[in-house]
Amino acid sequence: MRWNIRDIRQMKGRDKIPMLTCYDFTMAKLLDQAGVALLLVGDSLGNVTLGYETTVPVTMDQMIHHASAVMRARPKALVIVDMPFLSYQVSPEAALESAGRIIKESQADAVKLEGGERSLPAIRKIVEAGVPVCGHLGLTPQSVLALGGYPLQGRGQEGDRLLEEAKMLEEAGCFCLVLEKVPAVLAQRVTDAIGIPTIGIGAGAGCDGQVLVINDVLGLDPEFRPRFVKRFAELGSQIVEAAATYCNEVRQGEFPAPEHEYKDTSGHLSSAKGSTKTTKTRKKKAKE
């Protein structure tokens, strides 16, 4: 049985919800085996997969391309797809069209979009059409240019405003809410004040669930070590070591070894080799 929206909502205040980002078929299969409840095809793929400095350049086609790959793994997890920059800000109608494309072309389960009050018309339009929406408050990476970077959000009176916007998103129909890089006390206030699950990233342990970028969890980038990330493995160094060993064995002629070769059991190749040897022998005798 696959996870659905109702399952996730019912976990509120009962069970903690694990979410991880995922951008491809193979990783989707592995994370599904691990029992991840929510997979987020995040626009963070712009940073960790496509090499952009921000998520802003990521396109709709790129999001659908990666989401489709994830869905072809047939995961039991509920799959949420980020709506990229300017796919929902222009108008509610354009937002609905974008969300519809994502769901129809990738066959994912839900979409996620950033922003509070300014995003309410788009959220209502999408939800009314039957597409589940996950909200996103606090640090919103698509606003990096306006924010001047990735600063902590929700300090002081900003926290009261964020709390009100969380209630607005719930009222607009969001089934869950990501809280990114906000004080833990504020995240706890929001979690206690709304009836939908909160998923934290850099928002403390009080949220109903947690999300991290899979590359960070696996330690693929040795230089990226933000405070909110726990590295559950150090695969980056292991990958470098494995690739270096491979290169060395190829150069030394150690790989492939006989056990990596295919054998022709038909006998044709052996007779052909014998014929070649006989021919060479005859030519040598003829010269003598």
Q: What is the pLDDT along the chain (288 residues), one digit of tens a residue?
A: 899 999 999 999 999 999 999 999 999 999 999 999 999 999 999 999 999 999 999 999 999 999 999 999 999 999 999 999 999 999 999 999 999 999 999 999 999 999 999 999 999 999 999 999 999 999 999 999 999 999 999 999 999 999 999 999 999 999 999 999 999 999 999 999 999 999 999 999 999 999 999 999 999 998 899 999 999 999 999 999 999 999 999 999 999 999 999 999 898 765 555 544 544 444 454 454
Classify residue 173: in a domain, yes or no. yes
Rounded CA separation 72/67 (Å): 9
In a domain, 16, yes or no: yes
Q: Is residue 124 part of a domain?
A: yes
Alpha carbons 63 and 195: distance in angstroms, whole number: 29
Q: Which two tokens stand for residue 169?
A: 């998103």
Q: What angle do CA 213, 85, 228 make, to 5 degrees?
A: 25
Domain span at 147: 5-217
105 a catalytic residue: no
pTM tops 0.85: yes
User: Does residue 250 lie in a domain region?
Assistant: no
Contact 106, 32 (CB under 8 A): no
User: In CATH, what number is assigned to the domain containing residue 48?
Assistant: 3.20.20.60
3-class state of residue 143 by DSSP? helix
Whether residue 230 is contained in a domain is answered as: no
Q: For residue 193, tell me if it sits in a domain.
A: yes
In a domain, 237, yes or no: no
35 token code pair: 């029992």
DSSP secondary structure letters along 38-96: EEEE-TTHHHHTS--SSSTT--HHHHHHHHHHHHTT--SSEEEEEPPTTSSSS-HHHHH
Candidate list 93, 180, 241, 259, residue with the active-site label:
180
Give the model's pLDDT for residue 268: 79
**Total domains, the chain:** 1
Interhelix angle 60-71/25-33, nearest 10 degrees: 50
Cα-based distances in Å from 18 to 66, 78, 214: 21, 11, 12
CA distance 80 to 40: 5
